[in-house]
Amino acid sequence: VLEDAHTVRLATGEAVRAKYVLIATGGAPNHGAVIPGIEHVISSNEAFHLPKLPRRILIQGGGYIALEFACIFAGFGSDVTVIYRGENVLRGFDEDVRTHVRSEMEKAGITVLTGCTVKQVDKHAHDFTSHLSNGSSIASDQVMFAVGRHPNIKGLGLDKAGVAINPENGGIAVDGFSKTSVDNIYAIGDVTHRINLTPVAIREGHAFADTVFGKREVRVDHTDIPTAVFCQPEVGTVGLTEDQACERFSKVDIFKATFRPMKATMSGRDTRMLMKLVVDATTDRVVGCHIVGDGAAEMVQVLGIAVKMKATKADFDATMALHPTAAEELVTMRTPSARHVRAAAE
């Protein structure tokens, strides 16, 4: 616990003084609104310590953690129902990605109910009943909420040290170099509630060390960060969505392909991949790549380099395809599936 800007009190009672303090306490699951029976709900923390596999599980949430656990439990054979308050899962992702993931999950037997929330959870002798905002109810052996995470700032003594909180996101307020409102105190990772991804926190830690102790200022660039959702099918994405690109650029070309990959065809699996490139048609720069399917994360990690280097669609077209791979679609799509032209302002 911080006692002042330079003093930290440990759990042992010992006080430690330091010239610099780095706060990297991460985040914690947040169940959202308090509802009757919330004490019966587990989070992603408790999901790793269940005494047995639930035969039926209801998961509320539509983001990374909710969908990943939904697919994990379904893969083990559980009957899974996903409840999400929005119109579709994976808010903030490209609309084609959201639609494709939901369709594939439902084909795999996962029930996805959107536009509703859990209003109450009743505990019985051996199971639970979740009452939904649409008037229906669902019985299950476990109820899990994965509706978000909040910065781990409670009880740290931030007020004593004068560390300010960002009123917009509830995380510790920092500048571009991860410095807080107190000159010698820094914060990185999920506790700042900027972009809550492990590699981002690691990069911010490197930048802090370089800036404070390496005698060279390093500012982390939070644009064009590749990210993945390890659900089934897997999602990998980097750059702008189609909607974001249309808001930013006057002309946008969309290149899109959906297909059964060869290994799915040969194995008889009824699964389809989605690959999508978002291009600023004025400069020909590829500003977004979105993949849904096996190996999506691995592909997008490499595609992230191309997007960061401002590669053009012509660069993609000039790259020889590697056959037979699913990724060859990324360099063989020649005709736009859609072109958006924003009307000039009067």
Catalytic site residues?
Answer: 323
What phi, psi does 264 have (nearest 5°)? -75, -35
Q: Kindly report the CA angle at 316 between 311 and 321, in degrees rounded to 5? A: 150
- The answer to whether the CB of 104 falls within 8 A of the CB of 232 is yes
How far, in Å, CA of 224 to CA of 149, rounded? 22
- The answer to whether the CB of 316 falls within 8 A of the CB of 330 is yes
How far, in Å, CA of 100 to CA of 270, rounded? 13
SS3 state at 274: strand
> DSSP states of 118-185 as a string?
EEEEEE-SS-EEEEETTS-EEEESEEEE-S-EEES-TTS-HHHHTPPB-TTTSSB---TTSB-SSTTE
Residue 296, amino acid: A
